[in-house]
């Protein structure tokens, strides 16, 4: 029997209602994102993922090549261009990175020769300008790595927010057309000091009549290694722009006071890395994620967040990262050290 136009219309409306109801049962279906952030494949993510490391061995490791990343971050002393030893290291790393088709982000840091003395703004500007001329293809910079880290007796000093704003201005002045990321801060356990640092930096940038940054750098180790995300959320709000997680990762080894309270080891670090992707997926402001670092297990340092051990062998955290980027194509035999 041929159905009447009225009955056909009724059937069509019923089908549309059923489809709408089905969509409502899938949280976020209309918005194109899950209700609860879950690790997504690299191609489906709204941010780029890469690695931060200072060892050139990363670029020749087939396991790194398997990740097919496009971005990499290097920490260079602000005076690297006027120190032959540091310049040689930077040149080798950047050349290898560019040969591997990586877009390089350079974060300037304290001098390895005079870590207890901050440079004047004039000295800083002179030295970073020479670095920029030596590496014309590098067009992304950070004025000072972990600027709010503070002073560590006998090890290093860090700039105030006012001084860091002046370094930021100097870097923008000598690197026309570059992407200069505003600040580069640690979240810390209690973020109140970090929030004050961000506010003071912004105040000084306005006083200097410099362009306010549109991209901000954050190291959210404290947050994700506690399997929390509120610090990241609050700092994103304070920045008020695009955010790059310029360092993040799962701690295998760190100072005992932290790990005694929150745990340690490779399995725990892998769990943190999984959570790291959840947090990044949950914030549309996050556009880049640099996992730090590739090389771990070095006995001379208390900090270890490596995806590899000291012999370039994969840890379980590597598998988490590889699967997050490329699905189930990353079955490798991992090591337990």
Domains parsed from the chain with CATH numbers: 37-51+216-337 (no CATH), 70-213 (3.20.20.80)
User: What is the token pair recorded at 188?
Assistant: 């810390």
**Most distant pair of Cα atoms in the chain: their distance:** 92
Chain mean position to CA 193: 21
- In this prediction, residue 38 carries a pLDDT of 41
Looking at the DSSP assignment, which residues form a beta bridge with residue 184?
217
- In this prediction, residue 321 carries a pLDDT of 96
CA torsion, ordered 280, 286, 290, 292, to nearest 10 deg: -50
- In this prediction, residue 43 carries a pLDDT of 36
Looking at the DSSP assignment, which residues form a beta bridge with residue 267?
none
Q: How many residues does the chain have?
A: 337
- Identify the CA nearest to 332 among candidates 320, 317, 314: 314
Reported for 255-258, long-range contacts at CB under 8 A and 24+ positions apart, including other chains, are 255/302, 258/225
Looking at the DSSP assignment, which residues form a beta bridge with residue 49?
289
- In this prediction, residue 106 carries a pLDDT of 98
Q: Would you say 231 and 279 are in contact if contact means Cβ atoms under 8 Å apart?
A: no
- Identify the CA nearest to 127 among candidates 79, 92, 191: 79
CA 317 to each of CA 228, 274, 305, 332: distance values in angstroms, whole numbers, following the listed order:
18, 8, 9, 11
- In this prediction, residue 297 carries a pLDDT of 82
Reported for 330-335, long-range contacts at CB under 8 A and 24+ positions apart, including other chains, are 330/66, 332/63, 335/309
Would you call the peptide bond into 134 cis, given omega within 30 degrees of 0 as the criterion?
Answer: no
Phi, psi of 119 (to 5 degrees): -75, 155
- In this prediction, residue 27 carries a pLDDT of 35
3-state helix vs strand vs coil in the chain, percent to 5: 45, 15, 40
Q: Strands, DSSP E only, in the chain?
A: 48-52, 71-77, 103-109, 140-142, 179-186, 215-219, 242-248, 286-292
Rounded CA separation 276/261 (Å):
19
Low-confidence ranges of the chain (pLDDT < 50): 1-44
Q: Which helix (H) or strand (E) holds 169?
A: helix 161-174
Rounded CA separation 204/144 (Å):
16
- Identify the CA nearest to 294 among candidates 282, 304, 280: 304
User: What is the token pair recorded at 206?
Assistant: 């306005």
Q: Would you say 221 and 248 are in contact if contact means Cβ atoms under 8 Å apart?
A: yes
Rounded CA separation 170/70 (Å):
28
């Amino acid at each position: 029997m041929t159905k009447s136009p009225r009955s056909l219309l009724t059937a069509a409306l019923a089908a549309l209602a059923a489809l709408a109801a089905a969509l409502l049962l899938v949280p976020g279906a209309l918005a194109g994102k899950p209700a609860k952030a879950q690790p997504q494949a690299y191609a489906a993510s709204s941010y780029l993922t890469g690695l931060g490391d200072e060892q050139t061995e990363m670029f020749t490791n087939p396991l790194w090549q398997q990740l097919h990343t496009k971005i990499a971050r290097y920490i260079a002393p602000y005076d690297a261009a006027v120190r032959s030893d540091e310049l040689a290291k930077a040149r080798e790393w950047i050349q290898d990175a560019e040969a591997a088709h990586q877009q390089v982000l350079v974060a300037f840091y304290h001098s390895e020769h005079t870590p207890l003395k901050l440079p004047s703004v004039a000295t800083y500007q002179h030295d970073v300008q020479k670095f920029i001329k030596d590496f014309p293809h590098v067009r992304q910079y950070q004025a000072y790595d972990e600027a709010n880290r503070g002073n560590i007796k006998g090890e290093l000093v860090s700039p105030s927010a006012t001084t860091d704003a002046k370094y930021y201005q100097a870097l923008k002045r000598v690197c026309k057309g570059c992407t200069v990321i505003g600040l580069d801060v640690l979240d810390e356990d209690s973020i109140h000091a970090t929030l004050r640092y961000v506010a003071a930096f912004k105040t000084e940038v306005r006083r200097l009549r410099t362009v306010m940054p549109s991209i901000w750098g954050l190291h959210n180790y404290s947050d994700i290694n506690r399997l929390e995300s509120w610090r990241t959320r609050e700092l994103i709000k304070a920045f008020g722009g695009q955010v790059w997680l310029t360092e993040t990762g799962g701690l295998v080894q760190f100072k005992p006071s932290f790990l005694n309270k929150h745990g340690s080891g490779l399995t725990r670090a892998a769990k943190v890395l999984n959570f790291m992707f959840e947090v990044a997926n949950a914030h549309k402001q996050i556009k880049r994620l640099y996992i730090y670092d590739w090389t771990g297990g070095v006995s001379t340092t208390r900090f270890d967040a490596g995806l590899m051990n000291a012999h370039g062998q994969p840890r379980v955290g590597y598998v988490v990262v590889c699967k997050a980027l490329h699905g189930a194509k990353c079955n490798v035999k991992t090591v337990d050290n």
